[in-house]
Amino acid sequence: MRIIGGKFKGRPIEFIKSSVTRPLKDSVKENIFNIIVHSKKINIDIINSKILDLYSGIGSFGIEALSRGAKKVTFIENNKFTINILKKNIKNFSIQDKTELIENDIFSAIKNEKIDKFDLLFLDPPFKDDSFINIFELIKIKKNYSKKSIVIIHREKKTNDNLDKFLSVFLIKTYGRSKILFANFLT
């Protein structure tokens, strides 16, 4: 695993091979960032944006965003072993001043922590987990997003999540087993 673009381009990122985590493949991550930068359907600029990275894992998405000029990334992760790898990555890239790490499950973190309004929300929940959908209601109540914000969700391509209550999905891309959904919050 490595950083694909920006000031950290080519630098390796610590990761773990386990049944608990499923790191985002470099090729999928590269495609996501190409869509963010080049799609006319996306109206945010990664530069100076605030990112909320839920189910952060080792932090590869958030660190990639910082490498490409994001202003701040808030990581939310609750797996203790994974958090240790994430902390090591934050330290190795010397990005402590541009990151916030919340060690908690996403529901408790959003409900109880003071979190900035974000421009981009990235979720990479376990493929068998569909409870993540309920986080969008809480995010809407707390107004943790800007008007132009986008939501990017990494799922297994066979999943059929009902997001219509909270999100308007405007683009779906598949890469092998992965399905990437790009969406906006419903107003």
pTM (2 decimals)?
0.93
What pLDDT, on a 0 to 100 scale, did the predictor assign at position 22?
62
* CA distances to 12, 44, 117, 135, 139 from 142, in Å: 36, 21, 9, 11, 5
What pLDDT, on a 0 to 100 scale, did the predictor assign at position 19?
56
Alpha carbon 130 to chain centroid, angstroms? 16
Domain ranges within the chain, ordered by starting residue: 26-185
Residue type, 120: L
What pLDDT, on a 0 to 100 scale, did the predictor assign at position 41?
87
In angstroms, the CA 101 to CA 75 distance is 5
Q: What is the 3-state secondary structure (H, E, C) of 100-168?
A: EEEECCHHHHHHHCCCCCEEEEEECCCCCCCHHHHHHHHHHHHCCEEEEEEEEEEEECCCCCCCCCCEE
What pLDDT, on a 0 to 100 scale, did the predictor assign at position 160?
87
In angstroms, the CA 57 to CA 109 distance is 15
Q: Is residue 56 within 8 Å of 156, Cβ to Cβ?
A: no
What pLDDT, on a 0 to 100 scale, did the predictor assign at position 187?
76
For the record, the structure tokens of 82 come out as 């994974």
What pLDDT, on a 0 to 100 scale, did the predictor assign at position 7?
97
Q: What superfamily does domain 26-185 belong to in CATH?
A: Vaccinia Virus protein VP39 (3.40.50.150)
What pLDDT, on a 0 to 100 scale, did the predictor assign at position 10?
94
User: Which stretches in the chain have pLDDT values below 50?
Assistant: none
Residue type, 13: I
Residue type, 125: P
